[in-house]
C-alpha cells in the first residue's frame, strides 16, 4: 500500500477476499452504508463509528473570498459542509503506518 488512489471497486474486491461474501452482497452493504451516512448527515445528524470516526456537518458563515485565477472578490453565502473527524485510534494507526514507511 502506498499513495495510490483506491477506488470503490478495489475496496469491494478487498472485502470480498477478506470475508468470503459475494461481490453483490458486499456492494449492496457498502452502498447501503454510504447512502445511510449521507442521509443522516444531510438531515443534520451526527454519526459516530467508534474506532473509525465521526461524520458531522459544519455551518460556514457568509464571507468574501477571492477567485485565485482572476483575483476578483466573490461573495460566498452561508453554507453547510460535511466533515469527518477520525478517531484517535484511526489517526494513530495512520501516523504509525506512514512514519514506519508501510
Query: Is the model's pLDDT at 93 over the cut of 90?
Result: yes
In angstroms, the CA 55 to CA 46 distance is 6
Which residue segments constitute the domains of the chain, with CATH numbers given?
A: 8-100 (4.10.520.10)
In this prediction, residue 2 carries a pLDDT of 60
In angstroms, the CA 99 to CA 97 distance is 6
What does pTM read for this prediction?
0.78
Task: With cut-offs at 50, 70 and 90, classify the pLDDT of residue 102.
Answer: low
Averaged pLDDT of the chain: 94
Query: Is the model's pLDDT at 3 over the cut of 80?
Result: no
Contact criterion met (CB below 8 Å) for 8 and 33: no
- Among candidate residues 48, 54, 55, the one with its CA nearest the CA of residue 81: 55
Amino acid at each position: 500500500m502506498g499513495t495510490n488512489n483506491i477506488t470503490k471497486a478495489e475496496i469491494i474486491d478487498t472485502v470480498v477476499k477478506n470475508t468470503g461474501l459475494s461481490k453483490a452482497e458486499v456492494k449492496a452493504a457498502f452502498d447501503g452504508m454510504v447512502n445511510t451516512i449521507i442521509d443522516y448527515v444531510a438531515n443534520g445528524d451526527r454519526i459516530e463509528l467508534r474506532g473509525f470516526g465521526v461524520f458531522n456537518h459544519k455551518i460556514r458563515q457568509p464571507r468574501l473570498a477571492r477567485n485565485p485565477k482572476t483575483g476578483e472578490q466573490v461573495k460566498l453565502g452561508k453554507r453547510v459542509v460535511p466533515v469527518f473527524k477520525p478517531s484517535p485510534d484511526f489517526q494513530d494507526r495512520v501516523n504509525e503506518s506512514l512514519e514506519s514507511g508501510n
